[in-house]
Amino acid sequence: MTSNNLGTPKRVPFDPAAARRPVFHALAQARQEHGGDTVALVDGDDRPLTYDAILQASFALGSALKRGTRNAECVGVMLPTGAAAALTFFALSAAGRVPTMLNFTSGLAGLKSALRTAQVKRIVTAHKLVQVAGLADLVAGLAEVGHEIIYLEDLRKRLTLGDKIAAVAGRLAPRLMAARPHPDAPAAILFTSGTEGEPKGVALSHANILANVAQARDHFYLYPKDVLFNPLPVFHCFGLTVGTVLPILAGVKVITHPSPLQPKEITRRIRKHGVTLLLSTDTFINQYARASEPGDLDSLRMAVCGAERLRDETRAAVRKKSGITLLEGYGVTETSPVIAANQIEANHPGTVGRMFAGMEAKLVPVPGISGAGALHVKGPNVMLGYIQPDAPGKIVPPEDGWYNTGDVVAIDAEGFIAIRGRLKRFAKIGGEAVSLAVVENIAAALWPDNAHAAVALPDGRKGEQIVLVTDAREASRVDLIGWAQNHGVAELSVPRRVLLVEAIPVLATGKTDYVSVQKMAEAQQAG
C-alpha cells in the first residue's frame, strides 16, 4: 500500500498538559474524535471491535469486576494480547481499579512473588488461555494460596441487570460514569523480568502512559488509514502502551495477535488486513521475513523494533524480502516505555534514534569506559516508582525524578543515541571493561543465521572471562580471532571459550534469557 492511499500524514506536537487526565477519559475522547462506529481493534480471530463496543464492554466488565474490591485496588490481568486483554485493562480503569499485568510465562514462583509485591488478591484470566497455554497447574497453585481466579467466559454469563445498565449508560455518558483518578495515581503495574532476583513492580501513572502516547504521536507521522499489527504481550510495556493504548487513542486500527511465535500466521494476517505498521523485535522480525511468502509484507511501510539490538544482518534479510523500513527504538518499562526511536526521515542504523520530546538526559561517567556514560533520564513518562518485594504496596519514586537506565550509551552532536551495552553486561578483564554486546556482534557477523549470547564468568587470573554461547554448530574461537584481527577489534573482545548449544533460550518478549544462558555457561565450567 502506498502512502498516497493512506491519507495525509500527521504529527501531533507534544503537549504535556494533554496527558494530565485519566487513561479512560482519553479513550472517551478518542471515541468522540474518531467516531463510535469506527473499528478500533481486530482480535486474533479477526473479530472487529468499534469504539462504542469497547466503551460499552468496558463499563459492563468494570461494573462486574469491581464488586468485592476497593477503589484503587490492584487487580491481576493474566491474558494474552487481544480484545479480552484490552477490554479488561480499560474496564478496570473505568472502575477505578489498577490493572496489574501478569507474565504468565514466568512460572508459579515468579507470579506468586509479583502478586505479593503488588498485593493482588483477584486475578482475571480466561479458560481458553489456561487450556491453550497449559496453565492449569499454575492457576491451581495460585488458587491454593488464596488468590481469587475470575474467568472472563464465566463472568460474561453472570452479568447482572445493573452491569448491563452500566454498559448502556457508560456508552452514552462515559466521562460521567467512569472513575476519575488523579493523573498521578497508578494506572498500571508491570514487573521487571526478575533477572537480579525477585521481580520488582513498576508503577506507571495515568500521566506517565498518556505522556508516552503523546510523545510517540509527536515523534512519528501517522496516516489516517494506517493499520498497526501488535503481536507483543501486554504484560510487556511495549505491547501495552505502544501496541494497545497508543493506536486506539490515535485512531489507528490495531490488529492484535496472541503470540509473536507464529510467523506463518502473522505474515498471513499482515497481508489480509493490509497492515502498514508492525511492532516487533530483532528476533521476531527475522522470523517473519523468512516465513513470509512473496507479497505478504508488501503493505508494510514501517516496522518499529525494540527490546533488543537490531542487527545489520536482520536489516539485510528483511530488505532482501521486502521494502520495509526498519526503525530501531529504545525504552524500558520504567519510562512507559519508549525513550528514543529512529524516524523514517531520520534513520541512523547503529543508533536508537533521538530522545522523545519532554525528556532530559545526563551521562554519568563509568570507570574503564571512555566516550560514553550511564544514561539517566527524566521526564513526564518516567514511572511513579518501584514496588520492592520486601516492601509490598509501597511505591518508591526515583530520586529527584531521575531514573538510572543501567545502560551505557553515547550521544552524538545531533542527539542520536548509541547503546554500548548494559552496565551489568560488561566484563572486567585485566582492569578493562569489555562490552558483551560487542562479542555478540562479532558472532552475528560471522554466523548471521544463528543466535548468540555472551556472558562473563569469574577468572582467577584476569578477574573475568567471556564465554560465547551459540547455536552455530560451526562456531570456533579461531574464526572469532581472525574476524577481530581483520576488523581492528581488540583481542579482549574475543571470548575465552565457545559453548555450543541446541538453542539460545529467550523470554516471552523475544529478549535473550541471560539468566538461563549464564546457568548454561556455569554448568559447563563446573563440569
Instruction: Note the pLDDT of residue 519.
Output: 87
Distance CA 356, CA 341 (A): 8
Longest dimension (CA), the chain: 74
In sequence order, the β-bridge partners of residue 505 are none
Shared domain check, 398 and 455: no
Q: How do residues 267-300 score in pLDDT, each as one tens digit?
A: 999 999 999 999 998 888 988 988 989 889 999 9
Shared domain check, 315 and 174: yes
218 phi/psi in degrees, rounded to 5: -75, -35
Instruction: Note the pLDDT of residue 518.
Output: 84
Shared domain check, 198 and 258: yes
Residue 494 in contact with residue 468, Cβ under 8 Å?
no
Q: Region of 430 please: left (phi>0), alpha (psi -120 to 50) or beta.
A: left
Shared domain check, 142 and 223: yes
Cα–Cα distances in Å, from 4 out to 190, 217, 219, 337, 346?
39, 20, 21, 31, 21
Domain holding 502: CATH number?
A: 3.30.300.30
* DSSP string computed for 60-100: HHHHHHTTT--TT-EEEE---SSHHHHHHHHHHHHTT-EEE
The residue among 348, 374, 409 that closes a domain is 409
Shared domain check, 449 and 355: no
Instruction: Note the pLDDT of residue 420.
Output: 84
Residue 423 lies in a domain: no
Residue that has been written with the C-alpha cell 487487580 in this structure = 75
Domain holding 180: CATH number?
A: 3.40.50.12780
In sequence order, the β-bridge partners of residue 11 are none
Shared domain check, 44 and 171: yes
Q: How do residues 180-214 score in pLDDT, each as one tens digit?
A: 999 999 999 999 865 456 789 999 999 999 999 99
Residue 42 lies in a domain: yes
Neighbours of 473 (CB within 10 A): 9
Residue 15 lies in a domain: no
The H or E element that residue 434 is part of is: strand 432-435
Residue ranges in the chain modelled with pLDDT below 70: 1-4, 193-197, 430-432, 460, 462, 508-510, 527
Instruction: Note the pLDDT of residue 3.
Output: 63
Shared domain check, 461 and 392: no
Distance CA 386, CA 375 (A): 18
Cα–Cα distances in Å, from 256 out to 80, 233, 290, 477?
10, 10, 21, 43
Shared domain check, 374 and 290: yes
Distance of CA 352 to the CA centre of its chain: 15
**Model confidence, pTM:** 0.86
DSSP percent split of the chain into helix, strand, coil, nearest 5? 40, 25, 35
Instruction: Note the pLDDT of residue 114.
Output: 94
- Tally of domains in the chain: 2
Shared domain check, 219 and 150: yes
Shared domain check, 473 and 380: no
Instruction: Note the pLDDT of residue 2.
Output: 55
Question: Whole domain around residue 330: which residue ranges?
Answer: 21-409
Shared domain check, 376 and 456: no
